Structure 1
């Protein structure tokens, strides 16, 4: 808005409104005075444009977006979390809270336990020093100590780290704000369950099925923040928040969580539907085979993530996959594309018995 209100356009409008009886060429009094006014008026229009942008949620980002959606609907950005792991430590010494361990690539993890005496071997709990997926590393990845710990000779994580999620993106926060406007929740309706799940750290999308296993039963299927399969730790955390089951299901359905009394909620993972790609590609000579494959993989992965648990996009589009391949950096043309061995759309089931999300499998490229 107000893009046309530049210094030159404003100045010209002023000159046009001054009688031609006056000399209006550069250097003359009418020209110079009106030019000074145009400069100041352009600053006013620039400020007005910024004010207008501040009341358009689609143009807001970061803290401005957070403030806007919270003030109007109480929607709060879902925070990120630190990846965690249990570390097997070797030696004879003491590991204290705050002691650092790291991967060969320099991703650091800090001990969160108090002083732990190690005699031969022992276990300590660590978490990444950075929030987000950067801390999601595989088993036997945390093997180094940036600072020598007296008596400690080695370490490793026997299992992959868990629980490292990015803070909610601006686009996802904005989508939840619009959802709150368009589908207001009330008294434990389906929208309530969706909002409870999607407001939990680590959750990307949620789909709700009512009466899925009889009266007063609700199933909530969730993805992680990358629109992939959630791990059991995340499923358990969301279950605990909405409707904790407790030991022997003794608190299930009694209103001990966000869900109302009498509603039995089950949080579950979707089913992965593997999407295998086979294609012939003519590539730009300035790109390596590996670069082209990575570019294609990134594009398709992003697309599959965008349609996970989306009722309006309950299939993998053959045409869209082809277009993504064609637009990937390094691709000049492609042919003989097959998805799961065929050249048709791949349907995705979105029922409580079989709720599927697409997950990229093998990407096989033949260069021609």
Structure 2
């Protein structure tokens, strides 16, 4: 916050008491313990406390100082401030994905069947529950694939592949269940810093008349949206394409896409039934994921005990962070070979590397990411 106004500076109990005693005639006893001193001491304390309250009111009155840096804290004052400009905090979003049931052919699995991850008794981690969103019948091969959604919204519902293994709802004829791909697009309640960024975007960069900025602002009003790319003249005059990412910088789920479509242009007939102006037809789509597969040989230090698995996880974390930084960055739409090499060299355990290939190419060639695409981490293979 900017410097406090003069009337709130140095308003300590001692300073206030000194000023009050200075106003008392000098022929009165003002020493500590005297009647005058004892009468004014509580007043000085209360006035100093009131000054602290005034400072807090001032702090909470501005968006930049009302917002908390702690991602676990949500400022009610920031909600009030942003609501003045029509911006509300985005709610938590439930993670989605698919599961494959295996069992007796012809077995019917109703909508609303509950499946879950196993609880971990060692770490005390509780089970995460999901439910199916449609009815299915197992095929002649004894398998069936169906969409699922997390029971409780939030980012913790995003789990890796093959960890959903528990049938919470017992169904005769079903022998196993698993998720072949990670669940995704779960998001926590919007943080103060994210809400503050959207507030600044709205007040500093006004979107008007259906320009690109306004489409981005409209899409970002929907919970779970983590990135928007606007493509004017997507299919010729009168068409606009919107590609979406979730908060993990992956392709947005179908639920998020449908919510944005309904918010901006529900009828897609140019009648302007949503927020989009009459005329253009808006098509909302998830981004197309371009997987970045990495193979590398490493030489590791002997001073720090490590395993290939630990190195692989470090590489995955570093590359994933890099790819999130460049998601939907049209100023530099390249996955750069040198940046991935830099990730390797930034890992203290790795002394050197060789035979680095990205998507099978070892010629230090960058990978261009086109409009509507997002680079995501694929497989990482590490050897010595």
Report how far residue 22 of structure 1 moved: 6.9
| Aligned twin of 2:279 | 262
**Unaligned runs of at least 5 residues, structure 1:** 246-250
Does 2:177 correspond to 1:156? Answer: yes
What is the rounded CA distance, in whole Å, between the counterparts of 2:49 and 2:182 in structure 1? 52
What is the rounded CA distance, in whole Å, between the counterparts of 1:134 and 1:240 in structure 2? 27
1:118-197 to 2 correspondences below 5 Å: 126-137=148-159, 140-146=162-168, 149=170, 151=172, 154-157=175-178, 159-160=180-181, 164-166=185-187, 167-197=189-219
What is the rounded CA distance, in whole Å, between the counterparts of 1:262 and 1:3 in structure 2? 57
Q: RMSD in angstroms over aligned alpha carbons?
A: 5.2
Cα pair 1:163 1:233 within 8 Å, conserved: no
1:181-220 to 2 correspondences below 5 Å: 181-220=203-242
Report how far residue 325 of structure 1 moved: 7.9
- TM-score, normalising length from structure 1? 0.68
Closer, same or farther: CA 67–321 of 1 in aligned 2, 3 Å: farther
| Aligned twin of 2:123 | none
Report how far residue 16 of structure 1 moved: 6.9
What is the rounded CA distance, in whole Å, between the counterparts of 1:283 and 1:23 in structure 2? 77
Report how far residue 145 of structure 1 moved: 3.4
1:201-350 to 2 correspondences below 5 Å: 201-231=223-253, 234-235=256-257, 238-239=260-261, 241-243=263-265, 251-255=268-272, 257-268=274-285, 269=287, 272=290, 274=292, 285=304, 294=313, 298=317, 301-302=320-321, 304-310=323-329, 331=348
Correspondence for 1:41 among 32, 47, 71:
47
Report how far residue 197 of structure 1 moved: 1.8
| Aligned twin of 2:129 | 108
1:189-237 deviation digits (Å, cap 9, x = unpaired)? 3233112222223321212232354322323232222123335664455
- TM-score, normalising length from structure 2? 0.66
Count of residue pairs the alignment pairs up: 352
Closer, same or farther: CA 333–164 of 1 in aligned 2, 3 Å: closer
Closer, same or farther: CA 212–332 of 1 in aligned 2, 3 Å: same
What is the rounded CA distance, in whole Å, between the counterparts of 2:247 and 2:229 in structure 1? 14
Q: Secondary structure at the match of 1:200?
A: coil
**Unaligned runs of at least 5 residues, structure 2:** 69-73, 120-126
Q: Secondary structure at the match of 1:45?
A: helix
Between 210-219 and 94-103, the greater mean CA deviation after superposition: 94-103
Report how far residue 46 of structure 1 moved: 1.6
| Aligned twin of 1:248 | none
| Aligned twin of 1:60 | 67
What is the rounded CA distance, in whole Å, between the counterparts of 1:200 and 1:257 in structure 2? 14
